[in-house]
């Protein structure tokens, strides 16, 4: 019956597209199995089983039977039973969610070993040491991850055993030592967990499966998911995989490999290998690995086979893959593959390389990069010409230039960063307990571990600068200090700089310079030129792919000619928001004050007349910078008190003048005005279109300045394309009144200058009422620009200036939203109003132009949403334009 839930899939039954059900690891193990690659047989318990278990608190009844059936089949294939005394089948129980969550979930190896079967394993392998090493690993992993025993107790016991033997690495311990260690480990389990280490192999397996399920809701997993915006209701799959052994002597080993360099994207042999080792030994940085290339001289046959498999995988997945493998006495086994994480720079390079290889097309290439990566590439870097004191060099694990105070534990990292300090987290190696410290730090520096160590993998995932394996640095976390070659000591709080692109570590603060990608956008570096590096070339090509694909146009929020010119260099197709309030500051403040204080019509007109030529000049410059492209000018929006002096400051001035009996008539009038204009809730007060309606002549002066500036540019045979935007409209009547006056002024300027100006007039949609009556408003508007900042404030009833600091952290922690609605558009609420208003507006006026200004215009996820609801353009700050262009292209594929 196909309707009965199927909770378990053999590796031969799944495929790579079943990630939702089998998790990433399980789906790819199945894919490799079906490609005919050497994968140890096994089966996958689905995410559905996990969800059912987590919902009800107990394993679904059918699950146990299905697991039994699959275990029977596995035992038949392998010709031995789980934990069989004379020749035990051993398995690993491995978690694997849809998205890889490095270090979050735990894997238990060697399940099936017991006091009895360890003897059988020793006889079968002809290696007693190996059997006891495997057993002690099982008790250690099982004790820690399944029974919750503090892992350090086992580590300490292991260290003590090594010390007693005067050896430094665990491979030097002999069978007898390991036997004693097993006894010790079992005692630790008994004391700490209050139970014996289970001798029944099936009980071991069942408890491990349950522990994997439970780990989905562990604190660290939850924190990671929140950080990475992974939904909490996916559940994890569990893989049961027959064991292969890399710890069977020097002709065995375990390793990790990449089909390309995850830092540069170059093809080649990248990875680490460790002889006579099992599982996580490579990633944990316990012993020093050798570069993968050396495997060729250690075991040529396995090396050749691995190279062949890597090529098969890359051609099959059409992407960079990372791989975990084990060699058991000369036989190669594949234990994991997935499309590998990579640095932002490598993502761009790999995407274009794969296009050149004919493996993917331009549209597919766009799905391989994202705006966040591009933003990361636009970060500044260290100035190489600066005088620096380099004290070490590690592995360039995750790019960026980070400067901060040295801290040696996560607690301090979090504490100091909360109080506004920039910190670099320095550890010998990191583990999952360091996650919140890593999040808090500017960068991470470790003295151990390779490109695949925990620190490196997690930092790359977070886009955080990381240098790892800087071996000449002696990190002493207990004494909170680090000793650098030459003996100098870095104490907690000393400033260090780390370069995640070169791996270099410096003392003190190193100055930073702009990234080559920004130099390229600025037009100071050209792709194809000698000095252009591969990265610039790749970014240039990807931007071209995106520009060819995208439907959304990208404009800039720019208030002056300088910003407008930069925006143009960055690819802006016009200005979507020019805020005129910035033009009323500085020297012009006095004129604005006079306007506000005016008692008579004549006084008011006089100050407006003085402002007019200044405004006009602003617009002439702007039209010049954006010649031939639309420039949307928003008429004055903020409450007037923002142009007046601060109330307390003014009161003091008045009081002082009074006591000194100095003339203070002007101050007094100002103070009265400030009192008159004072509002409890200025955000909802006299601002936007309301100013235009109650202060005679203000908006018409601005409209005249725009019209005269446009006429002047036209007379100069240029192509100004002004659009006049009325802010904070709630009803069509407001717009109609303002519009009528504006039309008159424009007609008058057209008459006197004998020019047809073709100025468009439109409005912002930033109040719920405007969105709800968009159909009516469109009758008086030639365009809408969604002001999603104010719309978010008014739809949620959030005062942006207050809530972000006061309770948003609590909201984020409680998962009420995964990201601030001011950062990424709230699709369900604010977004649905945008969609409805766009539709209603277009129903009234089919050629209504629709855009968005506000922070969301440069936010990747929001850009996709605006594409979907059919807007014509997004507008964002000049620096975010490349990101918006790229994301608009990605949205269109
Ligand atoms: P992670 O998600 O942390 O990588 P894995 O499930 O891949 O966890 O397992 C951890 C380590 O144990 C890896 O190095 C993996 O290759 C190794 N491992 C897992 N299952 C087996 C197995 N059946 N035989 C040998 N090694 C295994
Ligand atoms: Mg792990
Ligand atoms: Mg793995």
**Residue with CA closest to ligand 1 atom 13:** 279
Q: What is the pLDDT of residue 384?
A: 75
Q: Do 292 and 331 belong to one domain?
A: yes
Bridge partners of residue 253, in order along the sequence: 275, 327
Which two tokens mark 452? 């695949």
Range from 313-317, 354-358, 377-381, 756-760 carrying the lowest mean pLDDT: 377-381
Full DSSP string of 463-509: T-EEEE--TTSEEETTTTEEE-TTS-EEETT-EEEEETTT-EEEESP
Bridge partners of residue 403, in order along the sequence: 497
Nearest atom, ligand 1, residue 239 CA:
6
Full DSSP string of 583-652: GGSGGGHHHHHHHHH--SHHHHHHHHHHHHHHHHHHHHHHHHHTTTSEEEEEPP-S-GGGGSPPHHHHHH
- Residue 852 located in a structural domain: yes
Bridge partners of residue 242, in order along the sequence: 91
Decide which of 242, 274, 298 is a domain's last residue: 242
Give the C-alpha distances (Å, rounded to integers) separating 377 from 464, 465, 479.
12, 12, 36
- Residue 615 located in a structural domain: no
Rounded average pLDDT over 250-268: 91
Buried-state track 409-433, b at ≥16 Cβ within 10 A, e below 16: bbebbbebbeeebbbbbbbbbbbbe
Rounded average pLDDT over 165-176: 91
Bridge partners of residue 334, in order along the sequence: 325
Ligand nearest to the CA of 282: 1
Q: Do 238 and 260 belong to one domain?
A: no
Decide which of 207, 242, 277 is a domain's last residue: 242
458 lines ligand 1 (CB under 6 A): no
CA distance 61 to 213: 16
- Residue 214 located in a structural domain: yes
Decide which of 190, 215, 242 is a domain's last residue: 242
Q: Do 322 and 454 belong to one domain?
A: no
336 lines ligand 1 (CB under 6 A): yes
- Predicted TM-score of the model (pTM): 0.81
Q: What is the pLDDT of residue 331?
A: 97
**Residue with CA closest to ligand 1 atom 6:** 94
- Residue 366 located in a structural domain: no
Q: Kindly tell me the sign of the dihedral angle through the C-alpha atoms of 8, 60, 230, 452.
A: negative
Please tell me the distance between residue 109's alpha carbon and the centre of ligand 1 in angstroms.
7
Q: Are strands 389-393 and 395-398 parallel, antiparallel or unpaired?
A: unpaired
**Residue with CA closest to ligand 1 atom 23:** 243
Give the C-alpha distances (Å, rounded to integers) separating 452 from 98, 170, 238, 289, 459.
20, 21, 23, 11, 11
853 is catalytic: yes
243 lines ligand 1 (CB under 6 A): yes
259 lines ligand 1 (CB under 6 A): no
- Give the torsion through C-alpha atoms of 309, 315, 321, 325, to 10 deg: -10
Please tell me the distance between residue 438's alpha carbon and the centre of ligand 2 in angstroms.
17
pLDDT band at 338 (very low <50, low <70, confident <90, very high): very high
- Residue 612 located in a structural domain: no
Rounded average pLDDT over 208-235: 84
Q: Do 313 and 448 belong to one domain?
A: no
Which two tokens mark 386? 């600066």
- pLDDT (tens digit per residue) in 639-678: 888 888 888 888 888 899 889 988 888 888 888 888 888 8
Please tell me the distance between residue 798's alpha carbon and the centre of ligand 2 in angstroms.
41
Q: What is the CATH number of the domain that holds 231?
A: 3.30.1490.20
Q: Do 47 and 81 belong to one domain?
A: yes
244 lines ligand 1 (CB under 6 A): yes
Task: Say if CB 121 and CB 114 are below 8 A apart.
Answer: no
Q: Which residues contact 308 (CB under 8 A, 6 or more apart)?
A: none
Please tell me the distance between residue 622's alpha carbon and the centre of ligand 2 in angstroms.
56
Rounded average pLDDT over 628-646: 91
Rounded average pLDDT over 294-302: 97
**Residue with CA closest to ligand 1 atom 12:** 279
How many separate helices (H) and strands (E) can be counted in the chain? 36, 31
Q: Do 424 and 397 belong to one domain?
A: yes
279 lines ligand 1 (CB under 6 A): yes
Q: Do 265 and 210 belong to one domain?
A: no
Rounded average pLDDT over 500-506: 90
- Residue 60 located in a structural domain: yes
Assign residue 49 a region: left if phi > 0, alpha if psi is -120 to 50, beta otherwise? Answer: alpha
φ, ψ of residue 773 to 5 degrees: the values are -115, 30
Q: What is the CATH number of the domain that holds 422?
A: 3.50.30.10
Q: Do 262 and 186 belong to one domain?
A: no
26 lines ligand 1 (CB under 6 A): no
241 lines ligand 1 (CB under 6 A): yes
Q: Do 262 and 169 belong to one domain?
A: no
Q: Do 177 and 262 belong to one domain?
A: no
432 lines ligand 1 (CB under 6 A): no
Taking each helix axis from N to C end, the angle separating 698-715 and 601-625, rounded to the nearest 10 degrees, works out to 40
For the sheet containing 395-398, what is the strand order? 389-393, 504-507, 495-499, 401-407, 423-427, 443-446, 465-468, 395-398
**H or E element in which residue 258 lies:** strand 253-260
Range from 377-391, 550-564, 756-770, 848-862 carrying the lowest mean pLDDT: 377-391
Q: Are strands 474-476 and 481-483 parallel, antiparallel or unpaired?
A: antiparallel
Q: What is the CATH number of the domain that holds 287?
A: 3.30.470.20
**Residue with CA closest to ligand 1 atom 9:** 107
Rounded average pLDDT over 307-316: 96
Closest CA to 560 of 539, 537, 577, 538: 577
Rounded average pLDDT over 828-845: 98
CA distance 336 to 331: 16
> Which range marks the domain in which residue 501 is found?
379-513
Which two tokens mark 226? 């929140």
**Residue with CA closest to ligand 1 atom 8:** 107
CA distance 819 to 825: 9
Three-class secondary structure of residue 556 per DSSP: strand
Q: What is the pLDDT of residue 806?
A: 66
CA distance 638 to 635: 10
Active-site position among 50, 241, 321, 853 = 853
Please tell me the distance between residue 516's alpha carbon and the centre of ligand 1 in angstroms.
39
Q: Do 447 and 309 belong to one domain?
A: no
Taking each helix axis from N to C end, the angle separating 47-56 and 201-215, rounded to the nearest 10 degrees, works out to 80
Range from 123-137, 197-211, 518-532, 720-734 carrying the lowest mean pLDDT: 518-532
Please tell me the distance between residue 506's alpha carbon and the centre of ligand 2 in angstroms.
31
Bridge partners of residue 423, in order along the sequence: 405
* All residues with CB under 5 Å from ion ligand 3: 324, 336
Rounded average pLDDT over 696-723: 97
Q: Where are the beta strands (DSSP E) in 340-460?
A: 381-382, 389-393, 395-398, 401-407, 423-427, 443-446
- Residue 694 located in a structural domain: no
- pLDDT (tens digit per residue) in 63-88: 999 999 999 999 999 999 999 999 99
247 lines ligand 1 (CB under 6 A): no
595 lines ligand 1 (CB under 6 A): no
Helix, strand and coil in the chain, % to nearest 5? 50, 15, 35
Q: Is 90 exceeded by the pLDDT of residue 422?
A: yes
- Residue 248 located in a structural domain: no
Q: Do 408 and 482 belong to one domain?
A: yes
CA atoms within 13 A on the CB side of 759: 30
Count of domains forming the chain:
4
Query: Which of 279, 328, 331 is the pocket-test mutation for ligand 1 (most atoms within 8 Å of CB)?
Result: 279
Full DSSP string of 717-739: T---EEEEEE-S--SHHHHHHHH
664 is catalytic: no
Which two tokens mark 355? 């296009």
**H or E element in which residue 270 lies:** strand 267-275
Q: What is the pLDDT of residue 1?
A: 47
Three-class secondary structure of residue 364 per DSSP: helix
Active-site position among 50, 70, 321, 454 = 454
Q: What is the CATH number of the domain that holds 751?
A: 3.20.20.60
Q: Which class for 494: exposed (0-12), middle (13-18), buried (19 or more C-beta within 10 A)?
A: middle
Please tell me the distance between residue 243's alpha carbon and the centre of ligand 1 in angstroms.
9
Task: Say if CB 592 and CB 582 are below 8 A apart.
Answer: no
The average confidence (pLDDT) of the chain is 92
């Amino acid at each position: 019956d196909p309707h009965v839930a199927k909770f378990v899939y053999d590796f031969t039954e799944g495929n790579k597209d079943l990630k939702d059900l089998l998790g990433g690891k399980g789906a790819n193990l199945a894919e490799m199995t079906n490609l005919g690659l050497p994968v140890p047989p096994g089966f996958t318990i689905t995410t559905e089983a996990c969800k059912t278990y987590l919902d009800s608190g107990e394993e679904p009844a059918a699950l146990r039977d299905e697991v039994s059936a699959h275990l029977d089949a596995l035992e038949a294939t392998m010709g031995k039973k789980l934990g069989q005394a004379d020749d035990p089948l051993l398995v690993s129980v491995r978690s694997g969610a849809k998205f890889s969550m490095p270090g979050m979930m735990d894997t238990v190896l060697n399940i099936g070993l017991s006091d009895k079967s360890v003897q059988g394993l020793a006889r079968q392998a002809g290696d007693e040491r190996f059997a006891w090493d495997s057993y002690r690993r099982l008790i250690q992993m099982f004790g820690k991850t399944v029974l919750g025993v503090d892992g350090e107790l086992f580590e300490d016991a292991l260290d003590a055993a090594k010390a007693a033997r005067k050896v430094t690495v665990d491979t030097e311990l002999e069978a007898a030592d390991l036997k004693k260690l097993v006894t010790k480990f079992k005692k630790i389990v008994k004391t700490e967990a209050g139970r014996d280490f289970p001798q029944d192999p099936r009980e071991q397996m069942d408890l491990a499966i349950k522990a994997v399920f439970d780990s989905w809701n562990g604190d660290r997993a939850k924190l990671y998911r929140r950080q990475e915006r992974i939904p909490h209701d996916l559940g994890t799959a569990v893989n049961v995989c027959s064991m292969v052994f890399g710890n069977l002597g020097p002709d065995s080993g375990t390793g990790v490999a990449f089909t390309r360099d995850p830092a540069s994207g170059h093809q080649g042999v990248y990875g680490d290998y460790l002889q006579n080792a099992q599982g996580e030994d490579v990633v944990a940085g316990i012993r020093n690995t050798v570069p993968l290339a050396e495997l060729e001289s250690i075991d040529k046959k396995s090396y050749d086979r691995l190279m062949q498999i890597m090529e098969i995988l890359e051609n099959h997945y059409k992407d960079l893959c990372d791989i975990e493998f084990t060699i058991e006495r000369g036989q190669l086994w594949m234990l994991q593959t997935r499309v590998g994480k990579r640095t932002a720079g490598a993502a761009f390079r790999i995407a274009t390389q794969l296009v050149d290889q004919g493996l993917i097309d331009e549209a597919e290439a766009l799905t391989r990069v994202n705006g966040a990566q591009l933003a990361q590439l636009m970060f500044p870097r260290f100035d190489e010409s600066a005088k620096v004191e380099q004290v070490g060099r590690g592995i360039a694990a995750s790019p960026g230039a980070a400067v901060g105070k040295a801290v040696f534990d996560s607690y301090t990292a979090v504490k100091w960063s909360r109080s506004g300090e920039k910190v670099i987290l320095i550890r010998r190696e990191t583990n999952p307990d360091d996650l919140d410290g890593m999040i808090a730090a500017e960068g991470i520096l470790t003295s151990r571990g390779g490109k695949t160590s925990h620190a490196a993998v997690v930092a790359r995932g977070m886009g955080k600068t990381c240098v790892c394996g800087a071996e000449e640095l002696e990190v002493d976390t207990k004494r909170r200090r680090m000793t650098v070659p030459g003996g100098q000591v870095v104490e907690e709080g000393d400033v260090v700089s780390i370069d995640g692109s070169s791996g270099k570590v410096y003392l003190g603060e190193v100055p930073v310079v702009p990234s080559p990608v920004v130099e390229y956008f600025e037009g100071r570096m050209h792709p194809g030129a000698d000095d252009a590096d591969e990265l610039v070339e790749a970014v240039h090509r990807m931007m071209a792919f995106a520009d060819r694909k995208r439907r959304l146009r990208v404009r800039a929020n720019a208030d002056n000619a300088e910003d407008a010119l930069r925006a143009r260099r960055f690819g802006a197709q016009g200005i979507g928001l020019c805020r005129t309030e910035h033009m009323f500051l500085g020297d012009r403040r006095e004129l604005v004050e006079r306007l506000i204080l005016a008692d008579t019509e004549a006084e008011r007109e006089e100050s407006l007349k003085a402002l007019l030529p200044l405004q006009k000049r602003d617009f002439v410059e702007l039209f010049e910078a954006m010649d031939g492209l639309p420039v949307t000018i928003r008429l004055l929006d903020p409450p007037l008190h923002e142009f007046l002096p601060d109330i307390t400051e003014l009161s003091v001035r008045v009081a002082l003048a009074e006591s000194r009996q100095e003339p203070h008539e002007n101050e007094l009038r100002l103070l009265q005005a400030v009192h008159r204009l004072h509002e409890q809730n200025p955000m909802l007060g006299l601002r936007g279109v309301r100013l235009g309606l109650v202060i005679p002549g203000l908006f018409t002066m601005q409209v005249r300045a725009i019209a005269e500036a446009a006429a002047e540019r036209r007379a100069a045979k240029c192509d100004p394309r002004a659009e006049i935007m009325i802010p904070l409209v709630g009803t069509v009547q407001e717009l109609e009144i303002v519009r009528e006056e504006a039309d008159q002024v424009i007609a008058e300027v057209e008459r006197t200058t004998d020019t047809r100006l073709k100025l468009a007039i439109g409005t912002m949609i930033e109040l719920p009422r405007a969105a709800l009556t968009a159909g009516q408003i469109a009758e008086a508007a030639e365009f809408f620009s969604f002001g999603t900042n104010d719309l978010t404030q008014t739809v949620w009833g959030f005062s942006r200036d207050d809530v972000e600091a006061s309770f948003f952290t609590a909201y984020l922690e409680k998962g009420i939203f995964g990201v601030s609605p001011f950062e990424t558009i709230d699709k369900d609420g604010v977004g649905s109003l945008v969609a409805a208003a766009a539709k209603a507006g277009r129903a009234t006026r089919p050629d209504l132009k629709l855009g968005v200004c506000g922070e969301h215009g440069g936010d990747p996820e929001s850009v996709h949403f605006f594409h979907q609801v059919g807007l014509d353009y997004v507008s964002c700050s000049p620096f975010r334009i490349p990101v918006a262009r790229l994301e608009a292209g990605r949205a269109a594929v």
